[in-house]
Amino acid sequence: MTTLSVRGIDEQTTQLLKQEAKRRGISMNVLILELIRDGISSRFEVIRRPTFNDLDHLAGTWTPEEAAEFIKTEQDFEKINEELWR
């Protein structure tokens, strides 16, 4: 898979993306991929990936303590390695 970096997104657009991702209960990355696919598919025929909902019953089953521990644990993924962007 290809990784893309999008630069120059203004703060208002960023906030709208965050709000929409939160509203849908998905990550910003998933939201942006969906928006790109939807935009492209309106102009070109695109093969869509199937949607799976077989794990939906697990959503929201964490206790507040478990959720806090998860967030604490995954914070390392938010760090940017400056060496990769030189």
pLDDT digits (tens, 9 = 90+) for 4-31: 888 999 999 999 999 999 999 999 999 9
pLDDT value at 46 more than 70: no
**CA pair distance 21, 16, nearest whole angstrom:** 9
pLDDT mean over 29-52: 81
* pTM, entire model: 0.48
Q: Which residue type sits at 27? A: S
- Dihedral of CA atoms 41, 28, 9, 14 in degrees, nearest 10, equals 120
Mean pLDDT of 36-60: 77
Coil/strand/helix, residue 15: helix
